[in-house]
Structure 1
Amino acid sequence: MTFVPMVDARQKTNENSSSQATAASVHFNVGGTPYQVSRSLLEQHADTMLARMASEIWQGENPPEEAMFVERDGGRFGYVLDFMRDGQVSLPAKGKITEESLLKELTYFGFLNVDPSVITTEFHYLDIPRYMALITQEYNEELTNKTKQRDALNLNITCTTVAHACCIRYMTTGNLNVCFDKTSEERSGSLDNAVVAAVQGHSLEHVTEALNKA
């Protein structure tokens, strides 16, 4: 009868467990920073470069023991993994990694058309002056845009009102003159009142094109 020493059995069990653990994860060396990534996470993103690097098609049936080197920034890669796990990323307020640089990194690794809204920046109270300046700048830009839209709409309303008054006046009297003076005694009818109200505070100089269009 042959006896197998217990130490050998335990050693073989440990080797099998170690082999299974290795097969369940993949080692990357990203710009000198080591990472160990589970295969299950890579399989969730099968169309990415990382998944292809770890696949049997790329590595063969016996993957190498050494970590696969990737010539990219090691710090940013950690946030790539955060995106892979959670579908969103929160960047530190004082960090060197920006939304733009992380989007480029995600694109490099094969994550296409990533919605920028999934990348946020942690709020830091020391950054309040910077945030206030940014919010004020955005407000001023939006206010300028809305003011231009309002002015264009008001001009359109004014020109349309004047054009309508001219048409009605001509059809009823054959006269194209429309009175804009509130004190004029020659003014009569409600159309002139509407015109006066429309043109108050608005100059019709240099708006021939808008008037003709109306």
Structure 2
Amino acid sequence: MSISGNYGNYGGPPDVPKIMEEANAMCGIDLVYLNVGGKKYTTNFETLARSKSSYFSELMRIDRNSGRVLLFLKNCAIDREGALFINRDGDLFAHALQFMRDGRRAVLPEDKYTLKQLIRESEFFGMDSWKEVLIEQLEQVDKKKNELMETLTAIDGHVNRLTDTMYFDGFKK
């Protein structure tokens, strides 16, 4: 399997909740291989587990007692190569993963269509903080577009006045 770490049943000490017995315990720095819509990604379990994504919290979480990442394989789809399969657009997932890593410092696209697609992805993955950032970015893109349109309209008005002045002054001579 391509998911690194311990794959046996994690028995743990007797006081460990039963949920751990149904999960594989991984180190946060262990690598996880993802197949998102056919596109391959590699990251650490901790990146996904700490992402505040309701989607990934169904697949894994960090155990408060041991600090290890618990991977719930019964909730995971695994591809032929052993990677976690996620049935989403692989190109768009790059933005989601970047946000999980960098938070608000992640570089966002300025294309409205892509931003709208990413908002949908944020809803699918249950990443409310990412959705807020994307909506802010979409508003900024709209604001820039409106400012540009106002500037172009003003320039067009100046050009028309200059053209009219040149046209009328030309006939007066």
- The structure, 1 or 2, with the larger RCO (C-alpha pairs under 8 Å, 6+ apart) is 2
Normalising by structure 2, we get a TM-score of 0.48
- Which has the greater radius of gyration? 1
